Amino acid sequence: MLDGTMIAEQIKKEVKRDVEHLVSEHDVKPCLAAIRVGDDAASAVYVRNKIRACEEVGIRSEHHALPATTNAIELLDLIMSLNRRGDVDGILVQLPLPGEIDESAIIEAIDPEKDVDGFHPVNVGRLSMGRPTFAPCTPAGIIELLVRNKVAIAGANACVVGRSQIVGRPMAQLLLQRDATVTICHSRTLDLATVTRQADLLIVAIGRPGLIGREHIKSGATVIDVGMNRITDEATVRQMFGDKAESRLQILAKRGYTLVGDVNPSEADEVAGWRTPVPGGVGLLTVAMLMRNTVNAARQRRGLA
């Protein structure tokens, strides 16, 4: 197993040390402003976790929780005011936004130097050119997980399944920068298993519970499961966890759901060399890398990099 929890803790410790240094040597306390619109329960949990991580590492945070009735103009006004403020280093807008607001326009309004999620086209462009930038936190966290576990990236056949803006595409760019030979798959890929079976490094971000099974995985491959799916039925739990299903069935009975990835864990364990668990794999790394990006923003904006 590749333990994301342990690496996330390591990263947060390093960030905490950097924050202490910024405070003691430069009298700078980094600040992250998080914006959330509406009452989406999952978004509320995500933002709460990010704010809690800020407290852990000593980053000052602001939580702008706006009502669901907020329109694009009001949201843009808030972003502009945060862009102008010298004491705010990072701005994140929790997605998804309510349907009538154009997410691209909102992301493009964020000052690229404060875009700690790495979603602004300027930062996406810098990433694709191989220039230093804020890399999106989930794929950046996966690179940390691989590097710190000494999984070879250079020269490896890497396959990324999923081509979203937040995971698949930036993941492919980061692997390319580290000299992997990268293939990207998506819903229109013909014969997915034939392609993924070539991969020494298989990274899956599709949002389809347990879709990747033994037939998709090369023997000894490293499998990174980004998927985060709630399942509510017993049959799927049994199919995914085999003889280890009991503890998951208990969670299901207690909460009414259990969190699973895009990889079938019991089948993957028959063939894979390394695998990330869900939960406990990639999720916590995302938040740790957001902390890292915020401190980097605080340094760069003041010429302290």
- Catalytically active residues are 50, 94, 117
Measured N-to-C along each axis, helices 4-26 and 283-301 cross at an angle, to the nearest 10 degrees, of: 20
| Closer residue to ligand NAP, CB minimum distance, 162 or 210 | 162
Q: How far apart are CA 111 and CA 118, in angstroms?
A: 11
The distance of closest approach from Cβ of residue 248 to ligand NAP in the complex, given in angstroms and rounded to an integer, is: 17
**Chain Cα centroid distance, residue 164:** 12
Residue 166 within binding range of ligand NAP, rule CB under 6 A: yes
Residue 188 within binding range of ligand NAP, rule CB under 6 A: yes
Residue 183 within binding range of ligand NAP, rule CB under 6 A: no
Among 126, 208, 214, 238, binds ligand NAP (CB under 6 A): 208
Supply 228's token pair: 């985060």
| Closer residue to ligand NAP, CB minimum distance, 88 or 290 | 290
| Alpha-carbon distances, residue 176 vs 10, 27, 53, 58, 173 (angstroms) | 25, 38, 30, 33, 5
The distance of closest approach from Cβ of residue 218 to ligand NAP in the complex, given in angstroms and rounded to an integer, is: 17
Residue 290 within binding range of ligand NAP, rule CB under 6 A: no
DSSP H helices in the chain: 4-26, 41-57, 72-84, 103-109, 121-128, 137-148, 168-177, 192-196, 234-241, 245-255, 265-271, 283-301
The distance of closest approach from Cβ of residue 10 to ligand NAP in the complex, given in angstroms and rounded to an integer, is: 17
Residue 167 within binding range of ligand NAP, rule CB under 6 A: yes
Q: Specify the 3-state DSSP secondary structure of 177.
A: helix
Residues making contact with ligand NAP (CB under 6 A): 138, 161-164, 166-168, 185-189, 192, 205-208, 211, 226-229, 282-283, 286
